[in-house]
Amino acid sequence: MTHNEARQEIERLTAEIRRCDRLYFVENAPDRPDHEYDALVKELRKVELAFPDLIAPDSPTQRIGEKLEGKAEVVQHATPMLSIENVYNDGELFDFVESAQKAASRPLAWVCELKIDGVAASLIYEKGVLTRALTRGDGVFGEIITPNVRTIRDVPLKLSGDFPDYLEARGEIYMTNSNLDRLNREGAERARAAGKEFKPFANPRNLTSGTLKQLDPKVCAERNLRFFAHSTGSDPTAVASTHFEFMQKLREFGLPTAPLAKRFDTFDQAFAYVQEMRENLASLDFEVDGIVLKVDDFAARAEIGSTSKFPKWLVACKFEKYEAQTTVREIVVQIGKSGVATPVAELEPVEIAGTTVSRATLHNIAFIEEKDVRVGDAVIVAKAGKIIPKVMRVESYLRPQNPEPPRFSFPERCPSCDAALVRDQKEEAKRDENGALVKVDGKTVKEFVDGSFIRCPNPECPAQFRERLAFFASKGAMDVDGIGASLVERLTTSRRVDLFSDEQPPLVRSFADLYRLTPEQLMQLDGIETKSANNLTQAIQNSKTRGPARLLTALSIPGVGAQTAKDLVKDFRSIDAMLEVESAEAFTATENVGAILAQNLFQFFQSEAGRRIIAELKELGLETALPALPESTNADGGFENALPLNGKTICVTGTLNRYDRVKIKDTIEANGGKAASSVSKKTTFVLVGAKPGQSKIDKAAELGVPTITEEEFETMIGAADAPGSDDNPESNANGLLF
């Protein structure tokens, strides 16, 4: 091979390796199996050894440098790496958002990102080449960790695309839970072989911090650290006008960014996503200690400003994480309201954050397979915010060796109704036996493969109905006060009135049965006295007026959440109209309803069971339609229906007579309006109840935004004669709003 041929071969191999790195680390879509990638690196190293003068500093083979001596050098950051203000409850979050909106001259869009529990770092690229990496340090000075950061495979040594001459990418260096388990397992095996005691690494963050301080980059390379970018210390406006756009640019340059990040036009949308993310953090393979909410627009950030300690345009919604080690005694499978079979770990009871934890969800079959959870395993269980226990990782180095416990096998039949369980299918790119993508005429071939969920397909499954009934009565659905999991269990279980009677069928076998309950029937259940029975039946009857959107949410149609239900009711005006659609495509006209969800809706409303449910509930007096629209004159002198709050934005403050926080928001949206969490120039009215927030009243006065009473609001929507829940606003305990 000539010198020129070697140069061309090095360029070809380097370009292909960088392409593979980008697909693997940034796009999560590798198109080569690991052994092919390793062969490319091996071939590149071979050519470079033959022609050492052609080795470039940013070559993929040059990640691991020589061992350092002494302490790491400390240098000053070009711009300080400020802290992030933390909030620990929704009230503090609402206050932050209101303050940010007040300081801005425009409505704010928001970006939600995971707050990864690692080590903050700054990566500096000059003319696309990584020249320096620093720890955050005290925010003003940081330690140089460039040799160790070069070993992190998802950190590009050279950027790709149309990058700026100078770029400072700030982010988090972290370690996955599975990698920590690997290191502990390998360390335990070495210790056993040497007859020594093994001291395990305690947690990913501490190990990451210690690894970055190592003087030998080979140690860092062996520990397989990772990196996510989340911001910059240089001027982002050179390449983008918003944060979300800038994050997209970083990915184009080859830098991985925080996963699951999303942009929202309103805070209400962002807040809903924050709540959703809180429930799904345990499925991630890395530690997360919060969710960051950022103003998206850079110009708006400049208006909002910063303090000496932290920017005022972002906040971390933090939760304290409490952990403990325990043992998996058994793995059982529970059937949910949509038929999904969820594995649950029965644990040796352990105290975490003041409560005893004996169960934790294992989510789905993919979670069990990835973490390899087995009966008898030692596991780390965490409670985020002192609420929901999650299995974070398996301490497999403590697993018995002779014999090793078997892997968990999912049951083949439903534990409730004995129907054969089926595994969901998902569509993904087809790969050959070597892991490479299969293409025909330049297009990637798709195939259906096993998904993450296993479910019971029997719609009459008792366990499914029990879960659907609990959800039907829950606060986010029909909000029937007094019905919890324990009562649902008793309502849906066969019983005997006394020792000598025959077994009686369950009191509730359908949603309609709930509304047919009498106090006398309820008093047949242990522990329910006359007063409780009367209160409960009254609460059930009161829920009839929750409205069609709440009812649609409560029906547990797969994929139909609260917002989708509101959108559908707003478009169709009634559940009755949904019964009359002639094809699934009719539902896709509603925003964010895709083909699969439309098919779910169509199947439900066309099914005998679905139509029977709606007919029974309507006959029992539940609201299945919005009020008739008032008529307004159109441009041609005729009449057309119009929602009374179309185009109006309403902010609510104080305590109302007839509405709690959820119901007033539903009512505003059902009548065509937008419910805002803060007052701005775009606010049409501020609806004022008892004990309003003074800051919102002052802001309305400053901007000249009119205020209206609850009675004026109901007149506006044509509901002035609606029955009130309580004439005394101070006694309406659920009425406290913003």
C-alpha distances (whole Å) from 398 to each of 184, 189, 375, 411, 723 are 9, 10, 13, 26, 63
Q: What is the mean pLDDT of residues 385-391?
A: 70
Q: Is 559 exposed, middle or buried (0-12, 13-18, 19+ CB in 10 A)?
A: middle
Q: What is the pLDDT of residue 728?
A: 36
Instruction: Indicate if 55 and 102 belong to the same structural domain.
Output: no
Element (H, E) at 380: strand 378-384
pLDDT, one tens digit per residue, over 35-75 is 788 788 888 888 888 888 888 877 888 777 666 556 778 89
The two three-digit tokens of residue 341, written as one number: 């079979």
> Residue 629: what pLDDT?
61
pLDDT tens for each residue of 25-34: 666 667 777 7
Per-residue model confidence (pLDDT) at position 364: 86
Three-state secondary structure call for residue 344:
strand
Cβ distance 180 to 225 under 8 Å? no
Residue-level pLDDT at 61: 83
* Mean pLDDT, range 66-88, rounded to an integer: 80
State residue 642's pLDDT score: 64
User: What are the tokens at 584?
Assistant: 């699934």
Cα–Cα dist 429/681, whole Å: 48
Which residue range is the domain that position 593 belongs to?
Answer: 548-626
Least-confidence region, from 46-60, 79-93, 618-632: 618-632
Q: What is the pTM of this model?
A: 0.63
Of the three residues 526, 545, 564, the one that is the final residue of a domain is 545
Distance of CA 55 to the CA centre of its chain: 44
* pLDDT tens per residue, range 174-202: 999 889 989 998 998 888 888 888 888 88
**In the prediction, which pLDDT does 38 show?**
78
CA 440 to each of CA 16, 48, 433: distance values in angstroms, whole numbers, following the listed order: 22, 36, 16
Co-location of 617 and 674 in the same domain: no
The whole-angstrom separation of Cα 291 and Cα 87 is 10
The single residue listed with the structure tokens 């949206």 is: 669
Dihedral angle computed from the Cα positions of residues 290, 291, 293 and 294, in that order, rounded to the nearest 10 degrees: 90
Rounded to 5 degrees, what are φ and ψ at 632?
-135, 150
CB-count exposure of residue 455 (10 Å: 0-12, 13-18, 19+): buried
What CA–CA distance (Å, rounded) separates 64 from 369?
33
Q: What is the CATH number of the domain that holds 569?
A: 1.10.150.20
Q: Are residues 264 and 192 part of one domain?
A: yes
pLDDT-wise least confident of 85-99, 208-222, 443-457, 632-646:
632-646
pLDDT value of residue 503:
74
- Sign of the torsion formed by the C-alpha atoms of 372, 338, 549 and 735: negative
Is the confidence at residue 738, as pLDDT, over 60?
no
Mark whether 262 and 151 lie in a shared domain: yes
Identify whether 396 is part of a domain: no
For CA atoms 249, 253, 257, 259, the dihedral sign is positive
Would you place residue 112 in the very low, low, confident or very high pLDDT band (cuts 50, 70, 90)?
very high
Q: Are 409 and 432 in contact (CB under 8 A)?
A: no
Lowest mean pLDDT: which of 154-168, 338-352, 490-504, 583-597? 490-504
Per residue in 118-135, pLDDT (tens digit) is 999 999 999 999 999 999
Q: Based on the fold, state whether residues 265 and 149 are members of the same structural domain.
A: yes
Q: Which pLDDT does position 723 carry in this prediction? A: 40
Mean pLDDT for 398-409 is: 86
Do 337 and 271 share a structural domain? no
Contact 96/108 with Cβ under 8 angstroms? no
| 228 found inside a domain | yes
Question: Residue 135's beta-bridge partner residues?
Answer: 121
Is residue 75 in a domain?
no
Per-residue model confidence (pLDDT) at position 149: 94
Q: What per-residue confidence (pLDDT) applies to 22? A: 77
Q: Cβ neighbours of residue 11 under 8 Å, at least 6 residues apart? A: none
Indicate if 566 and 688 belong to the same structural domain: no
Active site residue 691: no
Q: How far is CA 436 from the centre of its chain?
A: 31
Residue 18 · residue 160 · CB < 8 Å: yes
- Low-confidence winner among 4-13, 223-232, 409-418, 435-444 (lowest mean pLDDT): 435-444
* pLDDT confidence bin for 616, thresholds 50/70/90: very high
| CATH classification of the domain holding 372 | 2.40.50.140
Instruction: Decide if 68 is inside a domain.
Output: no
Asked if residue 70 belongs to a domain, the reply is no
Q: Is the pLDDT assigned to residue 632 strictly greater than 80? A: no
Count of other CB atoms within 10 angstroms of residue 618: 16
Which of 286, 318, 350 terminates a domain? The answer is 318
pLDDT score recorded for residue 619: 94
pLDDT band for position 652 (cuts 50, 70, 90): very high
Give phi and psi for 686, each to the nearest 5: -110, 115
Same domain, 43 and 20: yes
Spatial strand order in the sheet of 707-708: 674-676, 649-653, 685-688, 707-708
Q: Would you call 652 helix, strand, or coil by DSSP?
A: strand
Task: For 476-523, write each residue's pLDDT tens digit.
Answer: 899 998 898 889 999 998 876 665 667 788 899 999 999 999 999 999
| CA pair distance 171, 179, nearest whole angstrom | 20
Cα 719 from chain centroid (whole Å) = 37
Q: Where are the beta strands (DSSP E) in 285-370?
A: 288-295, 314-318, 321-335, 341-352, 355-361
CB atoms under 10 Å from CB of 496, counted, come to 11
Residue 676 backbone phi and psi in degrees, to 5: -105, 150
Highest mean pLDDT among 25-34, 237-246, 381-390: 237-246
State mean pLDDT over 708-731: 63
- Residue-averaged pLDDT of the chain: 85
Final residue of a domain: which of 578, 601, 626? 626
Looking at residue 626, its pLDDT comes to 82
**Does any domain span residue 31?**
yes
Q: How far apart are CA 118 and CA 208, in angstroms?
A: 7
In a domain, 118, yes or no: yes
pLDDT at 622 exceeding the cut of 90 = yes
Look-up: residue for tokens 């979300």? 244
Asked if residue 249 belongs to a domain, the reply is yes
Q: For 662-690, write each residue's pLDDT tens digit.
A: 778 878 887 888 888 788 888 999 999 98
Residue 428 banded pLDDT, cuts 50, 70, 90: confident
Res 722 pLDDT > 50: no
Q: What is the CATH number of the domain that holds 225?
A: 3.30.470.30
CB neighbours of residue 168 within 10 Å = 21
Reference 519, options 506, 504, 531; nearest CA is 531
Which helix H or strand E contains 661, and what residues bound it? helix 661-670
Task: Give the pLDDT score at 250.
Answer: 94
Percentage of the chain exceeding pLDDT 90? 38
Which residue of the set 42, 67, 102, 115 is catalytic? 115
More confident residue, 67 or 5: 5
Higher pLDDT, 330 or 437: 330
Q: How many domains does the chain have?
A: 6
Q: How far apart are CA 709 and CA 724, in angstroms?
A: 15
Residue 154 sits in the same domain as residue 108: yes
CA angle 339/343/344 to nearest 5° reads 125
Which of 319 and 197 is assigned the larger pLDDT? 197
Banded pLDDT at 159 (limits 50, 70, 90): very high
Whether 517 and 556 map to the same domain: the answer is no
pLDDT of residue 500: 62
Are residues 267 and 143 located together in one domain of the fold?
Answer: yes
Contacts 24+ apart (CB under 8 A), 365-371: 365/410, 365/423, 365/452, 365/453, 365/454, 366/451, 366/452, 367/283, 367/343, 367/452, 368/331, 368/343, 368/408, 370/178, 370/285, 371/177, 371/178
Give me the pLDDT at residue 387, please.
62
Residues 305 and 232 in one domain: yes
pLDDT at 376: 92
Look at residue 737 in the predicted model and tell me its pLDDT.
37
| Angular region, 209: left φ>0, alpha ψ -120 to 50, beta rest | alpha
Rounded to 5 degrees, φ, ψ at 623 are: -75, 120
Average pLDDT over residues 617-638: 71
